[in-house]
Structure 1
Amino acid sequence: MSGTVAGATDERTTRLLRVGGGPAQTEGLPGPAAAPARAGPPDEGRRDAPRLTVAPSRASARCWDAFAQTCDASFWSSRGGARMWQFKLHARFRLRFFDLILTMPTGERCKIGQCAVGLGPRLRVIADGLALRPEYADLWPVAMESLLGHLGPGRYVYGSFWSTEVPRHRAILRLPHTRVVAVRRLVVEAIDLKRAERWSDFLGRVSRNVVRNARGFQQAHADRRFLVSYGAGCLTLLPKVIRLRRRMYDRKRIAFSQTRAIVSYVLRSLLLRRYVSMWVTVAGRRVLASAGTVAFGESVSFLDGASAPTPAGAGWDVLLHAIEDAHRSGRTRFQLGYTDVTDEFDGRAWVSPIRYRRDCRARAIETSLFAFDFAIEGAGDRNVPPVLLERTDPCWTGEAQT
């Protein structure tokens, strides 16, 4: 491929042979080791070809987040979320934001996508992935190749835990000079919410035991009330939530780092303050259950929850109220979590290894988180980030677990 570069340190332009009607074709980008060429006179036969440009973004945080939501990206694609995601992979980085601009032969310019990239000494982390407007999804290969040509050789990480983007670890191999070094195949487990559906009809879709337990709790504890906080206000509920979670994990004999949890809550409440909420159920002076969520675009993501051992049903009660709030606000997905799957998973049938997600009739949305090398020889001292080697517990084995 041979393309053009305009202002090599600022933006990169690639000429497209066509747009729409299947995967986009492009004129080739220069090889990664080649010196970028300044844009020259186009060939006569390609003078009218559209051009895709990768350029530094000047969007405000609000405009950036609004665009990411129209692309159905996860909350990791927000300005604050992109910074949080970087901390999971490397401590030292410079975060850069890029726009993907399509210029038509008429001169009309249209932003079709964006991405945030953390540039570190060993890694280049593309937070969440490329956020492309749905009607331009077929341009992912040329957009990705243009971005790599702009950033240059290195080890990259693509994807995230909550992304609903289709898996890209195979598609990346169709680009020149790429080599995948580690992959986590994941599914995001989500409940579909229908705007026209009555809440009573939704309850008819989940397990009867779920509804019975929640209603039993409500009838036995008519004095129960919800404490709900948003944004930085969630920190006011932090002592109650941490204490409840610590006791729950102690009962289950599961390791729990209180310090790590507090840091995570503080970062979430500050960097995702426009989108986070915290629900806590209290009855009298007792704290009975909690749920933490992030609402971004079409989705609400259930990040964590906890409940006391008694009375039964408190956890279901707060979770159903969080789902009902998402339904009432017009969201179309309530995401319960993510799960690692093996290479045997074919996407055709899903049985969650986690019982409460099965009871909610959650479906699986396949995605992937992976590391790859672009235009470098050998691995050298470039280690695989630990997050690529971890696995959810439990993970999918093809059989249901309790």
Structure 2
Amino acid sequence: MRGGERRKIGQCAVGISLRRRVFADSLQLLPEEQQLWSEAMQAVLGRLGAGEYHYGSQWSLEAPREADLAAIPGVTVTAVEPITVHAVSFREWSSWEAYLRGLSSNARRNAKRAQEQFADLAVEIRQGRETLRRWPALQALKSMLAERKQLDFRQARHFLRFAMRLMALRQNNFLAVARGGGEDMAAFAGIDFGPNTYFLESGARDTRNGTGWHLMLTMLQRAYGRAPGAISSWAPSMRATRPMRGCTSRAASAAPRSCRPARSPSATSPSCRATSCRCSRCAPIRSCRWRLRR
């Protein structure tokens, strides 16, 4: 209520099951109303009632909320999981060329190697339902990467996630494949959401030929072209391709042993530098579980 007028200041989506209530990402408030987050969350919990809740996601850029949640009467935080999200805030560079000059020489050299090795190197980008045509290529490349790094890979589960994402976000989904020498070499898939771009999964045939770097820089340039002042983020699932290096997470290193920090390096420190980009001042996030008693 402001000036006697009742108006909407935020919204959230919550999945409710017999055992748990899960926030779909986070509680979204208008920028000018962020200071009311605790009061808004308390109102939501008052409406939903007692139970076990899960808040946060792997691709949220929201600041940690465990302290705010613990301060709400009746809430007991039972678990906190630190999650690393690599993020590039393009507003810190005046142009794409300026950003490119700021990359390490190693990143540029790797991308150039791919162009020199494959005369027919090209990147194919599909959106919406058209991404299904190239999903097999993405999964094949992810499987190769998982085998090299001895990672757990279950194709049926990945397809289910991909299909649900496609049904929910439709044209916001994109899938890009780099081809060279007549073969699929690397693939990225993600979401365009508002001005921001989220890279969610990837795969590569060979990490030594530079095609992964070429594709990554191509997609970063696409993200910059969409919205020069927005954010491009890499979800924790990207850690297998190690798109960024050289950063350490103060939050993760200080985490208690009961927490499970992500393996990938962090882009959370203002002084942090990475070989594929200069990391932006992106706040570390948390995934929380808590119980609400009434």
**Same-fold status (TM-score > 0.5):** yes
Equivalent of 2:279 in 362, 374, 396: 362
Query: What residue number does 1:181 align with?
Result: 78
Q: Is 1:120 matched with 2:30?
A: no
Matched, 1:353 2:265: yes
Give the aligned partner of residue 109 of structure 1. 6
Query: Counterparts in 2 of 1:238-387, with a 5 A limit?
Result: 238-309=135-206, 312-331=209-228, 332-338=230-236, 341-342=251-252, 344=254, 353=265, 358-360=274-276, 361-363=278-280, 364-375=282-293
Over aligned residues, Cα RMSD in angstroms? 2.4
Return the alpha-carbon distance in structure 2 between the equivalents of residues 354 and 141 of structure 1: 27
Partner Cα distance (2:37, 2:181) in 1: 54
Q: CA deviation at 1:203?
A: 0.9
Q: In structure 2, how many angstroms separate the alpha carbons of the residues matched to 1:133 and 1:298? A: 16
Distance in 2 separating the partners of 1:288 and 1:231: 22
Instruction: Tell me, yes or no, if the aligned pair for 2:50 and 2:291 is still in contact at 8 Å.
Output: yes
Deviation string 1:175-199 (CA, Å, 9 cap, x unpaired) is 1111111111223221121386222
Q: Which amino acid aligns with 1:335?
A: S
1:335 CA displacement: 0.7
State the alpha-carbon separation in 1 of the partners of residues 177 and 105 from structure 2: 24
Structure 1 residue 367: Cα displacement:
1.4
Does the 8 Å CA contact 2:76/2:290 hold for their aligned counterparts?
yes
1:56 aligns to what?
A: none
CA change 1:365–1:310 in 2 (3 A) is closer
Pair 285,299 (structure 1): closer, same or farther in 2 beyond 3 Å: same
Cα distance in structure 2, aligned partners of 1:278 and 1:224: 17
Match of 1:147 among 29, 32, 44: 44
Residues 92-241 of structure 1: pairs in structure 2 closer than 5 A: 103-106=1-4, 108-194=5-91, 197-241=94-138
Where is the helix percentage greater, Structure 1 or Structure 2?
A: 2
Quote the Cα distance in structure 1 between the aligned partners of 2:14 and 2:97.
43
Residue 230 (structure 1) shift: 0.5
AA matched with 1:175: I
Question: Which segments of 5 or more consecutive residues in structure 2 lack a partner in the other structure?
Answer: 240-248, 256-262, 268-272
Identity %: 31
| Counterpart Cα distance in 1 of 2:143 and 2:216 | 19
Shift of 1:105: 4.5
Deviation at 1:131, TM superposition (A): 0.2
For the pair shown, the structure with the greater C-alpha radius of gyration is 1
Q: Write the distance in 2 (CA, Å) between the matches of 1:244 and 1:196.
A: 32
Residues 247 and 354 of structure 1: is their aligned pair in 2 closer, same or farther, counting only changes over 3 Å? farther
How far does the alpha carbon of each residue in 1:39-89 deviate from its partner, in whole angstroms, 9 at most, with x for none?
xxxxxxxxxxxxxxxxxxxxxxxxxxxxxxxxxxxxxxxxxxxxxxxxxxx
Task: Report the TM-score, using the length of structure 2 for normalisation.
Answer: 0.83
Q: How does 1:72-83 map to 2 (within 5 A)?
A: none
Judged with a 3 Å threshold, the aligned counterparts in structure 2 of structure 1 residues 212 and 170 are, in CA distance, closer, same or farther, namely same
Give unmatched runs, 5+ long, in structure 1: 1-102, 346-350, 377-402
